Amino acid sequence: MAVYGDVSYVNSRSYNPLYAAYDPDAGTAFLVNRTTSVNQSEDRWYKYQSDFLLNYKKKIASHNIQATAGWTTYERGFRGQSARVAQKDGGTAIGDDPRFWYVNNNFTDAGSITGNSGQYESSTLSVLLRGIYNYNNKYYLNATFRRDGSSLIYNPDQRWQNFWAVGAGWEISKEAFMSNVPAINFLKLKGSVGVLGSQNTYGVNYPYFPTLAAGNTAVFGNQVYPSYVNTYEVDKSLRWETVHGKEVGIEFAVLKNKLSGDITYYNKLTKDMLSFLSNGPSRTLGNFGSISNKGIEASLTYSGTVSKDLSYSISGNITTFKNKVEKFGTFLPSGETTPNQTEVGRPIGYFYGYVVEGVYQSYADKIGSPIVVGYDYGPGDLKYKDLNGDGFVNTEDRTEIGNPTPDFNYGMSFNLNYKRFDFGVDLQGSYGAEVYRVWGSSELPYSRYNYPTFKLNRWNGEGTSNWVPRLGDKFAINRLPSTFGIEDGSYLRIRNVQVGYNFANTLLSRARIKSFRVFANVQNLKTFKNNSGYAPEFGGSPTSFGLDYGNGPIPIVYTAGINVNF
């Protein structure tokens, strides 16, 4: 039996000062935040897991048998509350001093206090069986079965789901015929097939009970009546997402085990994919189709020794991706600010829009070009390509303009040991994905206080720019999904750099210390990228991702510490 727990508590305070923004057209500054305010919050998170397992192990001649049976429980929850208060109307501003950053202080207006609280809890119960068999440590077979139940799947007919997996391996290097191949130290063929499950509800902790949000208001007589709507629609048949996977691969080691590697081909079919989908003015959380993913995972490591004091290792890995929508319950078109589109036979969430040929430089340029249907436009606006050649630019001229799924991800690491010093570098990268720059492309002008610097080169007269259009909130034609927003999402990041020193045991034995190590570490030291945003990676949902909304950069983290074993 094993029990695990994780409890977190956060008590925080924040302060909102007065601040102004500069209007370059008027040449003056204006207050954006006109009153000071204070926020206080108190949050608690917890996670508990318990495993009740019975293990059996037996060896009969060359037959090795292991079996495990039991059940596991997992529970997580949250309790939190927060409050906000502003300064007294016309009173003294709350000081920029942590001593005053409390809801109750002499500068605040008690009537402005607003509060909020929240909680959630969920749990999972699993019953499992696992068997492992090998003959003479050469032929391997393993099988697992588990039945999982989740509180997130409220429908009792869908709450429980069975999952299984079967794997086999053959250590070819132990066969007699391999004794004549001394260059190969280890060679193993492996394969597996199985079904896994997911209960990811994308932050919704009670999927069958949506929260309410304020809607439109109506006036009857002298009374104003508010309305409330569900934040999403409920799919009563919500069920587990399942992943049906197949893998086959080899593991090997050569050159006296100095060079080792692993190459695996995978083919996965995700069924009943959990996702939010737009449904007119609302959205629905449900199971919406099947997605196939296939590719190759490969890793390679070389270890070498230069002398008794100097050794090193170099590792690399790569994973290729190819996905396709096999089945989808509905067509999910792109929108003005969400260019992702999902349809059967195409990559999930691919970018769909117009191809930009340049910027209209004059009215003569406009008259001599295909007519754009449904939009007012003129010099300084983006010029879209008439793909079907009918003389008009409309929705029929849209096409695939990018794919947010990379061709492959990769990583590399280098480790060096010299006497008692150690040094390591980890690199992480991605190649072949496009990102869509919503920031500065599809958002309304003046919706933020800073623009990307390329806006300085915008069109402001004939011949000034043939790519960046003019500014203005009434030029909706420039906000359509198009290649103007497409950028290369490939990158290489120095993810981690660490240096350490291990003290000699002769110095530690007197203090009854087994080992003592000091180290310094830098995370996210540098990212080499091609897109104009702060970072090349963005979150999202399974059908809407790869969108750059101008989020902040990944921080560089410097740490130092010691490792002591007594």
Per-residue model confidence (pLDDT) at position 543: 84
Residue with token string 């994973």? 319
Quick check: is 100 in a domain? yes
> C-alpha 45: how far from its chain's center?
22
Q: Band of the pLDDT at 444, cuts 50, 70, 90?
A: low
Q: Is residue 412 within 8 Å of residue 388, measured between CB atoms?
A: no
Per-residue model confidence (pLDDT) at position 60: 95
3-state secondary structure of 484: helix
Q: Is residue 318 within 8 Å of residue 308, measured between CB atoms?
A: no
- Among 4-13, 25-34, 398-407, 500-509, where is mean pLDDT lowest? 25-34
Quick check: is 338 in a domain? no
Alpha carbon distances (Å) from 182 to 139, 173, 249, 255 = 21, 10, 22, 9
> What is the percent of the chain where pLDDT is above 90?
63
Q: Band of the pLDDT at 446, cuts 50, 70, 90?
A: low
d(CA 548, CA 190): 40
- Which domain range does residue 19 map to? 1-51+71-122
Joined tokens for residue 50:
């318990």
Q: What does the pLDDT look like over 528-542, one tens digit per residue?
A: 999 998 899 988 888
Q: Is residue 343 within 8 Å of residue 328, measured between CB atoms?
A: yes
Of 55, 64, 194, which Cα lies nearest the Cα of 140? 64
Q: What does the pLDDT look like over 296-326, one tens digit per residue?
A: 999 999 999 999 999 999 999 999 999 999 9
**Section 136-159 average pLDDT:** 94
Residue 447 predicted with pLDDT over 70: no
Of 335, 227, 343, 250, which Cα lies nearest the Cα of 297? 250
Quick check: is 300 in a domain? no
Quick check: is 205 in a domain? no
Joined tokens for residue 308:
């008794």
- Number of structural domains (the chain) is 1
Residue 79 neighbours by CB distance under 10 Å: 15
Q: What does the pLDDT look like over 477-523, one tens digit per residue?
A: 999 999 999 999 999 999 999 999 998 877 667 667 888 899 999 99
Of 543, 383, 551, which Cα lies nearest the Cα of 459? 383
Three-class HEC string of 418-483: ECCEEEEEEEEEEECCEEEECCCCCCCCCCCCCCCHHHHHCCCCCCCCCCCCCCCCCCHHHHCCEH
Residue 448 predicted with pLDDT over 70: no
Quick check: is 110 in a domain? yes
Whole-structure pTM value? 0.83
Of 343, 319, 340, 321, which Cα lies nearest the Cα of 330? 343
256 Cβ neighbours under 8 A, 6+ residues apart: 185
**Section 201-211 average pLDDT:** 86
Residue 401 predicted with pLDDT over 80: yes
3-state secondary structure of 173: helix
d(CA 115, CA 400): 46
Q: Is residue 506 within 8 Å of residue 434, measured between CB atoms?
A: no
**Section 363-374 average pLDDT:** 95
Quick check: is 457 in a domain? no
Quick check: is 96 in a domain? yes
Q: Is residue 528 within 8 Å of residue 495, measured between CB atoms?
A: no
Single-letter code of the amino acid located at 284: T
DSSP per-residue codes, 35-55? S-EEEEEEEEEEEEEEEEEEE
- Among 127-131, 256-260, 382-386, 551-555, where is mean pLDDT lowest? 551-555
Q: What is the DSSP-derived secondary structure letter of residue 110?
A: G
Residue with token string 């130290």? 185
**Section 45-64 average pLDDT:** 95
pLDDT greater at residue 244 or residue 222: 244
Quick check: is 104 in a domain? yes
